[in-house]
Amino acid sequence: MALKKHAIPLCLVAALALGTTTSAFAAKQEDPTPIDQILTKAIKVDNIYNDIKYLSKKPRVSGTKEEDKAVKYIEKKFESFGLKTEVQPFEFEKYFGASEVSFTVGEEEIPSNALDYTANGNVTAELVYVGLGKAEDLEGVDLTGKIALIQRGDITFAEKLANAVEKGAEAAVIFNRQGAGDDDAPFGGTLGGAENGVAPIIGISYNAGMDLVEQLEAGESVTATVHVDGSEVRTVTSHNVIATKPAKSDAPETDQIVIIGAHHDSVEGAPGANDDASGTATTLELARVMAKMPTDTEIRFITFGAEEDGLVGSYEYVDSLSEDEQKSIVAMFQLDMVGSRDAGDLIMYTVDGNPNNVTKYGGDAAERLDYDVPYGQESRSDHVPFYEAGIPAALFIHSPSEPWYHSPEDTIDKISKEKLKQVASIVGAAAYNIAEPNTPALPMKAKVKAKSKKNVEIHRLHVDKPTK
């Protein structure tokens, strides 16, 4: 959708630069305000695009030197805009998946996946088929020094492994259920926690499993090797980067804070151009554009680390705030996956599905800029810890997600400058509308009337790894 073109009155440009604008547009606007226009014009989408390009050369997995490099880049950029910038380091326990996994039977290697939280090891032993590996399947069975061959189903992988190990097994091989995915492909899953990794455990395909069962049931003895290495939990350090634009104008300050945020980390193997270099780079550009604009409200631009590990950075940040600070935050705009050419339309997600300050100002700004942005319900990003602290927060994302989500294909060539520009303009206009001088202070939890339609469809492309 094209933006409506309006001339910007020169006197307003001058007034804005001098920090003397008053909010002449407090009433509901159907069209872009002059300030919307100034902001939209000031946003240089090439800056966003180039930052995504730089950030997405390699995956930025939290706790790695690639994350450190991204953090330094973001910090330098914020500082170059004249913003006071703080890097907030934090430690957490991070799981690293196995770097080596193999399953060999005789001369043949059978494709396999290590389950998350598996123990490492190199076990060569006889295979014993024990059905579903439930307690009753194992009654009177001695697995001492053996590898248990178990079918997926009924109970968790962790329970199957615990049952087999209790009977003396040194490793477990789980084969898939028929039709639970590709019958020829190994599956992946998780034990759910490091405490369950009592022996090496891998997943193989249904067909590979059935071949082995047939051999065993025909009375053959099958010796196999399960090899797993590199699976470990390590304490790592990740970081949040926080740039603060203080309230500064001729108007009285509001004591309120607006946050624009994104996560700078990505998952293993994914360059994360859209998830979430797009949000990070958009946050940087909004910081550049707004750094010198007059506001009666403080704006914080934040990029979070370790989002992909369970929103660790944003929880750390919210926990680090005093109660007073938490109370002062009237809006948190989270930008996550905001530039894919292959994703759907822009939507604002709140954790509870209800409208709040963010969806109200976001929806109004979108309308002024001639877009229609609905809201819906979704968690899965850094707006969650803010919501849990009672702070009005929403996730800006395009839905449905692109097929490249969390994959090596999440690269710069799939980024749409038009989408970036759209999100930057809407979020910029909305955030500035709250922060600009002489706007009335916002309530913490705004009782706003639903303006836009609730998006009923929630698209879930990514499901967490199965535990059974």
Interface residues with ligand BES (CB under 6 A) are: 275-276, 307-308, 310-311, 336-337, 378, 380-381, 397, 401, 405, 461-462
137 binding Zn ion? (CB under 5 A): no
Q: In sequence order, what DSSP letters do the residues of 280-319 get, joined into one string?
A: HHHHHHHHHHHTTS-BSSEEEEEEES-STTTSHHHHHHHH
CA-based nearest residue to 272, from 67, 43, 63, 90: 67
Nearest-angstrom CA–CA distance, 286 and 243:
11
Q: Which does 462 bind (CB under 5 to 8 A by kind): Zn ion, ligand BES, none?
A: ligand BES
Q: Which residue, 454 or 462, has its beta carbon nearer to ligand BES?
A: 462
User: Minimum distance between the CB of residue 267 and Zn ion, rounded to whole angstroms?
Assistant: 9
Q: Which does 401 bind (CB under 5 to 8 A by kind): Zn ion, ligand BES, none?
A: ligand BES
Q: Which does 75 bind (CB under 5 to 8 A by kind): ligand BES, Zn ion, none?
A: none
**Is residue 391 a contact partner of residue 329, using CB atoms and an 8 Å limit?**
yes
Q: Which residue, 75 or 276, has its beta carbon nearer to Zn ion?
A: 276
- Residues that contact Zn ion, how many (by CB under 5 A): 3
User: Minimum distance between the CB of residue 341 and ligand BES, rounded to whole angstroms?
Assistant: 16
Q: Which residue, 208 or 347, has its beta carbon nearer to ligand BES?
A: 347
378 binding Zn ion? (CB under 5 A): no
275 binding Zn ion? (CB under 5 A): yes
Q: Which residue, 306 or 435, has its beta carbon nearer to ligand BES?
A: 306
Q: Which does 397 bind (CB under 5 to 8 A by kind): ligand BES, Zn ion, none?
A: ligand BES
CA-based nearest residue to 288, from 454, 121, 39, 5: 39
Q: Which residue, 276 or 285, has its beta carbon nearer to Zn ion?
A: 276
**Class of residue 254 by CB neighbours under 10 A (exposed 0-12, middle 13-18, buried 19+):** buried
User: Minimum distance between the CB of residue 308 and ligand BES, rounded to whole angstroms?
Assistant: 5
Number of Cβ atoms within 10 Å of the Cβ of 321: 16
CA-based nearest residue to 109, from 204, 34, 7: 204
Which residue number is nearest to ligand BES in terms of Cβ?
Answer: 380
What residues are paired with 112 via a beta bridge?
Answer: none
- Based on DSSP, count helices (H) and strands (E) in the chain, helices before strands: 12, 16
Q: Near Zn ion by CB under 5 A, which window of 45-53, 199-207, 335-343, 434-442?
A: 335-343
**Is residue 244 a contact partner of residue 298, using CB atoms and an 8 Å limit?**
yes
User: Minimum distance between the CB of residue 275 and Zn ion, rounded to whole angstroms?
Assistant: 4
Nearest-angstrom CA–CA distance, 421 and 410:
19
**Which residues here bind Zn ion, judged by CB under 5 A?**
275-276, 336
